[in-house]
Amino acid sequence: MKTAIVEAGHWHAPSYFAALKSVGHEASCWSESDPAARARRQQEHPGKVYDDYRRMLEAERSELILAFGVHDEMTQIAADLVAMAVPFSMEKPMGLDPDALEPVVRAAEQKGAFAGADLVMRQHPIFARLGELRDAGELGRIKAWRFTLLAGGPHRYVDWGVEWMLQPERSGGPLFNFGPHGVDLFLWLCGEDEAEIVAADAISDLHNVAIDDYVTFTVRTPRGAVGVFEVGYAMLQAVSQQGMCLMTDRLVATSSDGSNGEIVWREDERTEKVEGKSARDSFVAETIERLETGREPIVALRAMLNTLRVLRAVGTRVTGENGSSVGQDARPTG
C-alpha cells in the first residue's frame, strides 16, 4: 500500500515511520511545510519530500495518508484530505475549534470516506480489554473514572523543533494535547457522545510560558458517569505520571502506566492482569487492514469531534473565554 505522511515534522511522526516498517510497509513520500523541521526529518528519513502536502497529494496518488500538523492548522488539512477523497488517519486533536471541525466530519460521513483519528490509547492493552468487555456486555454501568497524564516541562518541545507547542493559540496547551486521550476513552467506554463540565481549573505559573502547566476538570455524562481528569507538563523531565481508574457496578479496573493494568470483578474479587504490545504498531497495522478490507477506521472523526467539544467547554470554564491556553492573555500566566 502506497502510504504518505503529511507534516512529518511532528514529534510523533518518527514512531509512525517505524510502525509502518514494523508491519512491512514504508512511507513512499512525506511532506513538511516548515523548512527547519523538514531538514531535520530528512536526516532521518531521506527520500521523496515535499514542502506542501497539497502538491504531494496531487503528484503521488497515495492510498493512505498518516496526517499530522500544527494543532490550529489540522482542521484545514483534514478538510483538504476529505475534499481530495484520500483515505487518512490524523493525529489528535485535529484542531482547536469543534465548530470548524464539524462540517469536515459531516462531509466525510456523507462521502463515506475512510477518515479516522489517531486516538491510539484505545489500542493500549488495558483499554482494548475494557472495550472488549463493553462490547460483550460485561463491563457494567460506569460510575466513575479517573485519568492522569502528567509529563515533564514543556521546553522539550523546543528541543524537538516544535516551538509552536508553547504558543497557546496554535497548540491549545496540555488540555488539547493530552486531554483528547482521556476524554475519548471515557466517552467511548461509556458509550456516550457528550458530557457536562462540573468543575475545571488550571495552574500556569510553573514554567513562565504562555500555555498552562496543569489542567484538572470533572465531567458528568447524561447517564450519570463522573469523570475526573488531570493533564499537564507539571512534572520533572525525569518523572512522569500516567494512570487510570475505572469503577463500574461490575468491576474496578486500574492502570499505573496508562497501558497495562488490572481488572477486579466485584462479585468474587477475581483478578485479571492485562499486558500487551505497542499500541502504535497495532494501530497502524489495524488501520491498514481495515482500509484494505473495506471497513471503517478504528476511531471515527465524530469521536474526535465529540471529544473536542468537551475540551473546548473545559477551556471556556477555566478561562471564561475561548479555552484553556487559547486566548490565554485573559489570565496571568506567570
pLDDT digits (tens, 9 = 90+) for 245-285: 999 999 999 999 999 999 999 999 999 999 988 789 999 99
Same domain, 106 and 45: yes
| In contact, 123 and 298? CB cutoff 8 Å | yes
Looking at residue 33, what is its pLDDT?
A: 96
Indicate which CATH number applies to the domain containing 173. Answer: 3.30.360.10
Enumerate residue ranges in the chain where pLDDT < 70: 321-334
**Based on the domain organization, do 177 and 324 belong to the same domain?**
yes
Who contacts 173 (Cβ-Cβ below 8 Å, separation ≥6)? 211, 212, 215, 324, 325, 326, 328
Structural domains of the chain, count? 2
- Under 8 Å CB-to-CB from 13, ≥6 apart: which residues? 5, 7, 30, 41, 66, 68
Stated pTM of the model:
0.94
Residue whose C-alpha is closest to residue 186's, from 233, 238, 144: 144
Residue 154 φ/ψ, nearest 5 degrees: -75, -5
End residue of a domain, out of 58, 91, 120: 120
In a domain, 241, yes or no: yes
Same domain, residue pair 86 and 22: yes
Verify that 114 and 127 share a domain, yes or no: no
Nearest to 119 by CA among 111, 127, 110, 130: 127
Among 57, 87, 120, give the residue marking a domain's end: 120
pLDDT at 322: 43
pLDDT tens across 107-160, in order?
999 999 999 999 999 999 999 999 999 999 999 999 999 999 999 999 999 999
Q: What is the CATH number of the domain that holds 89?
A: 3.40.50.720
Residue 236: what pLDDT?
Answer: 87
Burial class (CB in 10 A: 0-12, 13-18, 19+), 249: exposed
Residues 237, 134: one domain? yes
Q: What is the pLDDT of residue 329?
A: 38
What is the per-residue pLDDT for 321?
Answer: 52
8 Å CB contact between 210 and 167: yes
56 inside domain: yes
Shared-domain flag, residues 105 and 143: no
Residue at 285 is within a domain: no
In a domain, 287, yes or no: no
Domain around 37: 3-120
Q: For residue 32, which phi and psi values (nearest 5 degrees)?
A: -160, 125
Same domain, 27 and 148: no
Distance CA 45, CA 126 (A): 33
The last residue of one of the domains, among 96, 120, 144, is 120
Is 292 among the domain residues? no
Asked if residue 136 and residue 238 are part of one domain, the reply reads: yes
Do 115 and 125 share a structural domain? Answer: no
Structure confidence at residue 278 (pLDDT): 72
Provide the pLDDT for residue 325. 54
